[in-house]
Amino acid sequence: MPKPSKRFVAAAAKVEQQAYGPHAALTLVKENATARFDETMEAHARLGINPKYADQQLRTTVVLPKGTGQKVRVAVITRGEQLAVAKDAGAHLVGEEDLINTIAGGTMEFDLLLATPDMMPKVARLGRILGPRGLMPNPKTGTVTSNLPSSIREFQAGKLEMRADKTGIVHVRFGKASFPSEHLLANLKAVQETVDRNKPSGAKGRYWKSLYIGSSMGPSVEVDVSALQELVVEDPG
How large a percentage of the chain has pLDDT more than 90? Answer: 84
Write down all domains in the chain, each with its CATH number in brackets: 15-68+159-230 (3.30.190.20), 74-157 (3.40.50.790)
Which residue in 175, 228, 173 sits closest to 25, CA to CA? Answer: 228
Q: How far apart are CA 42 and CA 34, in angstroms?
A: 15
Does residue 157 come out as left (phi exceeding 0), alpha (psi in the -120 to 50 range) or beta?
alpha
Q: Are strands 59-63 and 159-163 parallel, antiparallel or unpaired?
A: antiparallel
Which residue in 159, 179, 169 sits closest to 236, CA to CA? Answer: 179
Q: CA 138 from chain center: how many Å?
A: 15
- pLDDT above 70 (res 161): yes
Say how many Å lie between the first and final Cα of the chain, rounded. Answer: 43
Average pLDDT over residues 69-88: 95
Task: Tell me what pLDDT residue 12 has.
Answer: 85
